[in-house]
């Protein structure tokens, strides 16, 4: 292969890699924002969700928290704060229901 062609192809590969990286980053950013919105908006209707649904939301929150902790803190710190608020509320509801169920158990 001639030298200019080599230079062209390597530049093309570099540009393609850069575009792919940028798109992946953009996609990742968009994805976590969507996932954050999906989880957090459930807090407003959480009292009507089943315990299974709440448990799943807690698990999903934990997974997303792990992802957010890998992003630059300056970008994600408010998202982490927001997600923890919702996650802790789902957990609170689960514990509240468990405590209520314990109280309502018939005495032996």
Partner 1 sequence: MRGIFWLLLIALLFCGAVVSAETFGVKKTAPKPDQYGNVVMNNLSDQNHIAPVVFNHWLHRALYTCRLCHVDLGFAMKAGGTGVKEADNVNGLYCGACHDNKLAFGPEKKNAFGNTEKYCDRCHSLGKKVTFVKDFFAFTKGFPPARFGNKVDWLLAEDKGLIKLTDQLPGITIPRKALKIPLDSELKGKEAGMPDIIFSHQKHAVWNGCELCHPDIFGVTKKSSVYSMQEIFEGRYCGACHGKVAFVNLDCQLCHTKAVF
Widest distance between CA atoms in the chain = 90
Closest to partner 1 by CB, 6 vs 85, is: 85
| φ/ψ of residue 31, rounded to 5 | -65, -45
| Per-residue x/- track, 43-82, partner 1 (CB under 8 A) | xxxxxx-------------------------xx-xx--xx
Contact 65, 21 (CB under 8 A): no
CB 81 within 8 A of CB 69: no
Residue reference for tokens 């802790």: 88
Looking at 12, 13, 14, 37, which residue binds partner 1 (CB under 8 A)?
A: 37
Given the rule CB under 8 A, which residues bind partner 1? 36-37, 40-48, 74-75, 77-78, 81-82, 85-86, 88-89, 91-93, 95-96, 99
């Amino acid at each position: 292969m001639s030298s200019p062609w080599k230079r062209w192809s390597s530049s093309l590969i570099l540009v393609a890699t850069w575009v792919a990286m940028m798109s992946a980053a953009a996609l990742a950013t968009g994805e976590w924002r969507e996932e954050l919105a999906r989880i957090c908006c459930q807090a407003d209707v959480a009292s009507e969700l089943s315990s299974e649904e709440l448990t799943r939301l807690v698990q999903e929150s934990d997974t997303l928290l792990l992802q957010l902790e890998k992003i630059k803190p300056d970008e994600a710190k408010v998202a982490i704060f927001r997600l923890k608020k919702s996650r802790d509320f789902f957990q609170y509801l689960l514990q509240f229901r468990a405590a209520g169920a314990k109280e309502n158990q018939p005495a032996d």
